[in-house]
Amino acid sequence: MNRENSWTTRFRRRRLLTGGAAAGLAAAWALAGCGDDDDSGSGPTPTPAGVRPGTPTAPTPTTPGEVVKKDGTLKLRQNAIFATINPYGGLDSGLLWGFTIFDHLWYTPLDTGIRENFLATSIEQPDPLHFTVKIGEAYFHNKPPINGRRVKAQDIAASYMAARQQTRISNSSWWTQVLDSVVAVDDSTVKFTLKQVDAWTFSSTNGGSPIGSSILPEEIAKDPSFMDRDLIGSGRFEFVSHENGANFKLKRFDKWRIAGEPYLAAQEYRLIQEQAAALAAFSAEEIYSVALNNKLEREDLVKRHGDKIVIDSEDSRSVWTVLPRGDGQWADPRVIQAISMSIDRQELINLMNFGEGKVSGPVPPAFGEALPEADLKATWGKYDPAEAKKLLAATAFDTSKEYSIKYITPGDRNQQFAQIVRSQLEKNLGLKVKLVGEDLGRWLQQSLYGSQYDGFMVYASLAYDDPSSYIGGYAKQIGGRPNWAGYSNDEMDDLVKKQKTILDDAQRKTAVQDIQRKAWERGAPFIPTFIAITNTATWAYVKGRVVGRGSYGLFNGKVWIDK
Amino acid sequence: MAATTAASRLDFAPAYRRPGILRRLGRTARQHPAGVFGFFVLVLFVVTGLFGPALAPYDPDALSVGRPLEGPSLQHPFGLNQNGQDMFSRVIAGARVSLIISSAAIFIGAASGAFLGILGGYYGRWLDYIIQRSGEAFAAFPSLVLYFMLRAALGPGIEAIIAAIAIGALFGGNRVLRSATIIEARQTYVEAARAIGCSEWRIFIRHVVPNVLPLVIVIMSGALGGAILAESALSFLGLGPDVVSWGRDMSGQNLSIARTGYWHVVVFPGIAISLVVLGANLLGDSLRDIWDPRLRR
Amino acid sequence: MRQYILRRLVYVPLIMAIVSVLAFFTLRIPWAIDPVTLYVNQNTTLEQEQEIRRELGLDKPPLQQFVIWLGQVARGDLGETFRSRQPVWQEIARRLPVTLEILILSIFFSTLFGVTFGVITAVKQNTPIDYLFRFFAVFGQSIPDFFLLILLIVLPSIWWNYSPPVGGHIPFTQDPLENLRLYLPPTILLGVGGAAAMMRLTRSSLLEVFRQDYMRTARAKGLPGRAVVLKHGLRNTLIPIITLIGGQVTALFFGSLILEQVFSINGLGQFFLVSSVTGDFPVIQTLVLYTAFVVMVMNLLVDISYALIDPRVKYT
């Protein structure tokens, strides 16, 4: 561990990235029939087991002296069919292979916030725009044409440069706007050059992305279409087989860089699309872990299996958001404040999650950068319909017009959210609101990115990995396009840009919190409402799990099956 | 093969005075209680579909009208779903989209398809040829494939479903009607009508159409059940229109909630679907029994 | 007969041509969804979007796209899918065995149940058995397939913590037992749903045949009842039954889609569904061409089988 390097400690890594960036692809899974929304905890990869919020995190207890049974097979659920196994062809395959088949230079568990070196043995940072990585000894899987040769710095440079050019995986703008070049100095040294300072460089949305930072053999990085047929990495598992993008089988890589690991002999993924069928399969022990949609499912499983199963719960980082317009009559901060104050977040939590959720500010409570409780209550978390109505009446807002709420269809949670928000706006502000369900393509491209809406957009944000992704919406430009809501405020724009350059952790945290308060005062239109608390059930005989460390737990080689 | 059967419908003794229409209806109804049941189910379905929102005790989209997931009670006969929405009102409201889609299937699809079949069968020649060939071309487009194509082009929305189901029904009963018409058109009474100088159009409308009409109604009742099942299945798959619908209330989240013991959430919409389709099938069967003497025994 | 078949064969390419033009331009009507929108995300720059459009071949005017596509099809190349960028025919060929097995099994079961119960109800006409089966048939026809399939998964799980296997296709050639363990329960259920129509048809056709003189003759000759039914009766009801089986292929494709969805089987139904939702034009175009072909060949086979079964049928 390279803790002496002051640079490493600066980048507090946050919670698991499940979403990366591709709103498009993420919701496409829902379209493809998996039927779950982003916040329900059942992403494309098996959701890592979490902990009850607030409890300290530790690996699941293994009694000292207990004999580890190696060679078990872990059986997991796959929610949706992958379009292709090529990790450059889709977010789903990119993430799953990133955690299993491919190795990475570094990763930062969210509980310590300290970057851990994986293949890297040291990371030297002479100045904020350059860093040099030395790598250790590792081998690729023994398959033609690579045939188990050693991993070299050239492979890493080629992988980063190849990932940057992919249009089909959703790289964050770090890849195009911050990363300048990656060069192999010699067989075991890689040199990174950045175009601009970015405090979030090592985050897993950026330079530590499970997809983008996957280490491919140089030959394959130069011809990624090879991965349409087979996958060769240097990760702890080898790719064995699939059935047209489903039912994957992986087996242990014997020359994995950590000797003796992984304990599991194999991983098997079973395609189960209907949640009801997944619960049935879990009870029948056809899969060992299942993400639960709600409290009812959890109580049912606990009643059935008692302490033979373990329930982990975790704060979702997907914020249910109402996005009104931010221009014209909406640019008056009081309009946005009135709308925010007319939303009864507790009712949303009760109806959508049986009371298991938390009121959320722009940055969800899972992050240290979230607004403190008191601030939240005074701003984005405030519910006061009487004051809201008074505030709105004082503005020039036209309440006689009919406004629309646009949401993604199909997907029952999106519709449910839209319905509840509509009823609250009608009841508390006397607005006339109609619901407009749109298919993903139209909703995303035309209505959201193209700003073609005349009232509200509603959605669950993606579960981002760094807080800066949540406040990016206050800038004039979002991902190279004009602000979706038409919101334009010089002060907010500057603040968003500035926090990226603050390398000091504590200062940046203050800056991010400050931006959220400012957003309230200045009436920025992204109105956060709540986050769900998600549950995962696992059979107790799955031991050695690492819980509460987000996606870091998926890199764990010490899972074993006591059965 | 069918020549004898169609003819048998026409032989009646002129001396016999037919009993009044009501009495005849009553007698038929007593012989076909299932058909009567089906008829009333369909009437109920149409009335609910037309006036649903006015009949429903609550707004089907209104939230928290009672305690979420509460079971059936006097106040909420079908209970409440996760949003605290009244399931009884939702089942009533769900009839609307089923009615729209099944009427489209019946009137745009089956009825006009039937008309084309009769027309082709009666006139023959080039008209028949065109209708038959386009029927074959459309047969190459099963409803589902047609739907997939329209869905890709138009996106979600009721248009693609209506178009797919209606076009699918268009040439469904076409051939049967065509052959029935050909047989009908060769009957002696048609020649007799022609001999006394009736125009072709008059013969067609006054004589041929009424005589094959029963068959049309049988085909339409079949299309009705098929359309409702298709709509509910599409809604179940998450492809349905974005309105309250029976299939939709039976899918996704509701399904896994039902699994944990709240059966009423999916069972009542399911009963609604089955009941209406059952009604259409029973009515269709009875009508067939009444009008198609081949099966009358 | 030969002339008739030849004439029908000429139709095949003709109708396929019409159908492909229809499909191609329906997907490109001006207000149609732009598939490129499904392959971008918030960080996609406008240049990248242009690049994707070019890669997908959607940057040219529709007519030019059509000419290019026709050229490809003529060379036997159906293009690459938008989603996976793999050859369309490969993607289809890989999934075909799965869906084919579902179709064959469910047609087998619907025919088996339908004809068996049809014969029973016809022989036992107007007895309680007849009424009972007919009641179940009407009833079974009215319950949506998806509901039955869901119950098949959910009920055993609630009662016995057992779940019928879902997902995980094992080729029949590799392990027939495992394969059938996955496919039999749902296809039997699907078959039962399709059997109702078959049963009613068999029953009414048989009753029709029973009234014919030759049946009376057969009985008068002293042939036992069962032989009469099976030898003379069934043979003569084959034509309507085969017509219905032909028609059921497309109906059961819908059933197969639902089965694949509920049982998480990765077959053609799901592939086409996702392709349609994600605007994967090359796949949809191929689907339309392919079904047109299959439907026409099926119809032709049905017509030919008429002539084989019943020597009285002649085509001119």
Mean pLDDT, range C74-103, rounded to an integer:
88
Do B130 and C18 meet the contact criterion of CB atoms below 8 Å apart?
no
Contacts of B149 in chain C (CB under 8 A): 23, 26-27, 276, 284, 287-288
Do A71 and A262 meet the contact criterion of CB atoms below 8 Å apart?
no
- Which A residues 232-261 touch C at CB under 8 Å? 243-247
Give A256 or C154, the one with higher predicted confidence: A256
What does the alpha-carbon distance between residue A93 and residue A99 come to, in Å, rounded to a whole number? 10
How many CB atoms neighbour CB A124 within 10 A? 14
**Inter-chain CB proximity B83 and A411 less than 8 Å:** no
Per-residue pLDDT tens listing for chain A (563 residues)? 333 332 222 222 222 222 222 233 333 333 222 233 344 433 333 222 222 333 334 445 555 667 888 889 999 999 888 988 999 888 888 889 999 999 999 987 766 667 889 999 999 989 889 999 999 999 999 998 999 999 999 999 999 999 988 877 766 778 888 999 999 999 999 999 999 998 888 887 788 888 889 999 999 999 999 999 999 999 999 999 998 888 999 999 999 999 888 999 999 999 998 888 899 899 989 899 999 988 889 998 999 899 999 998 888 888 999 999 999 999 999 999 999 999 999 999 998 888 899 999 999 988 888 999 999 999 999 999 999 999 999 999 999 999 999 998 777 788 889 999 999 999 999 999 999 888 777 888 788 888 899 999 999 988 776 777 888 889 988 877 789 999 999 999 999 989 888 888 788 889 999 999 999 999 999 999 999 998 899 999 999 888 777 778 888 899 999 98
CA distance C63 to chain B (A): 17
DSSP string, A52-69: -TTSPP-BPP--TTPPP-
Do A545 and A553 meet the contact criterion of CB atoms below 8 Å apart?
yes
Strands (E), A376-453: 402-408, 432-438
Mean pLDDT, range C165-171, rounded to an integer:
75
Return the residue of A nearest to C275 by Cα: A32
Return the residue of A nearest to B242 by Cα: A437
From A286, A282, A287, select the one nearest A305 (Cα to Cα).
A282
From B224, B280, B282, B207, select the one nearest B6 (Cα to Cα).
B207
Of C144, C277, C287, the CB nearest to B145: C287
Do B277 and B271 meet the contact criterion of CB atoms below 8 Å apart?
no
**Inter-chain CB proximity C295 and B139 less than 8 Å:** yes
The continuous run of DSSP H or E covering C171 comes out as: none
Residues 6+ apart with CB under 8 A from B276: B41, B42, B45, B95, B98, B225, B228
CA distance A429 to chain B (A): 17
Interface test with C, best of B31, B179, B237, B256 (most C CBs within 10 A): B237
Question: ipTM above 0.90?
Answer: no
**Inter-chain CB proximity C42 and A284 less than 8 Å:** no
Q: Across chain A, how many H-helices and E-strands are there?
A: 17, 22
A neighbour chains, 3+ CB pairs within 8 Å: B, C
Of B63, B239, B248, the CB nearest to A419: B63
SS3 per-residue string spanning A491-502: HHHHHHHHHCCC
How many CB atoms neighbour CB A306 within 10 A? 9
Interface contacts A/C by beta carbons within 8 Å:
154
Give A327 or B187, the one with higher predicted confidence: A327
Phi-psi domain of A342 (left: phi exceeds 0; alpha: psi -120 through 50; beta: other): alpha
Contacts of A33 in chain B (CB under 8 A): 237-238
Return the residue of B nearest to C35 by Cα: B152
Of C15, C208, C261, the CB nearest to B237: C261
Of C37, C52, C166, the CB nearest to A272: C166
**Average pLDDT score over chain C:** 82
CB proximity B259 to A under 8 Å: yes
Contacts of C145 in chain B (CB under 8 A): 229, 233
Return the residue of B nearest to C203 by Cα: B295
What does the alpha-carbon distance between residue B67 and residue B1 come to, in Å, rounded to a whole number? 63
- Which B residues 76-135 touch C at CB under 8 Å? none
**Inter-chain CB proximity B225 and C142 less than 8 Å:** yes
From C153, C154, C155, C187, select the one nearest C255 (Cα to Cα).
C187
Contacts of C85 in chain A (CB under 8 A): 84, 89, 225, 228
Do A316 and A50 meet the contact criterion of CB atoms below 8 Å apart?
no
Do B120 and B177 meet the contact criterion of CB atoms below 8 Å apart?
no
CA distances to A235, B139, B274, C88, C124 from C131, in Å:
65, 35, 20, 50, 9
Give B198 or C68, the one with higher predicted confidence: C68
Of A246, A270, A284, the CB nearest to C161: A284
What is the pLDDT confidence band of residue B10, given thresholds at 50, 70 and 90?
Answer: very low
Contacts of A274 in chain C (CB under 8 A): 150, 153, 261-262, 264
CB proximity C179 to A under 8 Å: no
Of B156, B248, B256, the CB nearest to A297: B256
**Inter-chain CB proximity B83 and A420 less than 8 Å:** yes
pLDDT tens digit sequence for A202-252:
887 788 888 889 999 999 999 999 999 999 999 999 999 998 888 999 999
Contacts of C8 in chain B (CB under 8 A): none
CA distance B146 to chain A (A): 19
Task: State which amino acid sits at residue C221.
Answer: K
CB proximity A223 to C under 8 Å: no
CA distances to A512, A524, B34, C212 from A467, in Å:
8, 17, 65, 83
What does the alpha-carbon distance between residue A334 and residue A429 come to, in Å, rounded to a whole number? 13
Contacts of B229 in chain C (CB under 8 A): 144-145
CB proximity C278 to A under 8 Å: yes
CA distance A94 to chain C (A): 13
In our burial notation (b when 16+ CB lie closer than 10 A, e otherwise), range C79-117 reads: bbbbbbbbebeebbebbeebbebbbebbbebbbebbbeb
Q: What pLDDT score was predicted for residue C178?
A: 82
Collapsed DSSP state (helix, strand, coil) of residue A172: coil
Contacts of C42 in chain A (CB under 8 A): 21, 23, 449, 478-479, 481
What does the alpha-carbon distance between residue B238 and residue A357 come to, in Å, rounded to a whole number? 26
Q: What pLDDT score was predicted for residue C221?
A: 73
Q: What pLDDT score was predicted for residue C204?
A: 80
Phi–psi pair at A132, nearest 5 degrees: -120, 130
How many CB atoms neighbour CB A195 within 10 A? 12
What does the alpha-carbon distance between residue A316 and residue A359 come to, in Å, rounded to a whole number? 12
What does the alpha-carbon distance between residue A219 and residue A480 come to, in Å, rounded to a whole number? 32
Q: Pairing state of beta strands A402-408 and A432-438?
A: parallel
Contacts of B239 in chain C (CB under 8 A): 273, 277
Q: Is the pLDDT of residue B17 over 80?
A: no
**Inter-chain CB proximity A33 and C167 less than 8 Å:** no
CA distance B29 to chain C (A): 18
CB proximity B142 to C under 8 Å: yes
Q: What angle do CA A536, A539, A545 make, to 5 degrees?
A: 75
CA distance B277 to chain C (A): 5
- Which A residues 282-321 touch C at CB under 8 Å? 283-284, 286, 304
What does the alpha-carbon distance between residue C9 and residue C16 come to, in Å, rounded to a whole number? 11
**Inter-chain CB proximity C42 and A449 less than 8 Å:** yes
pLDDT tens digit sequence for A61-118:
555 667 888 889 999 999 888 988 999 888 888 889 999 999 999 987 766 667 889 9
Do A83 and A94 meet the contact criterion of CB atoms below 8 Å apart?
no
CA distance B127 to chain C (A): 18
* Region of poorest pLDDT, from A383-387, B38-42, B244-248: B244-248
CB proximity B183 to C under 8 Å: no
Interface test with C, best of A242, A272, A301, A305 (most C CBs within 10 A): A272
**Inter-chain CB proximity A446 and C37 less than 8 Å:** yes
Residues 6+ apart with CB under 8 A from B226: B105, B169
CB proximity B254 to A under 8 Å: yes
pLDDT tens digit sequence for C244-264:
777 777 778 888 888 998 888
Structure tokens at C78: 């159906």
What does the alpha-carbon distance between residue C207 and residue B294 come to, in Å, rounded to a whole number? 9
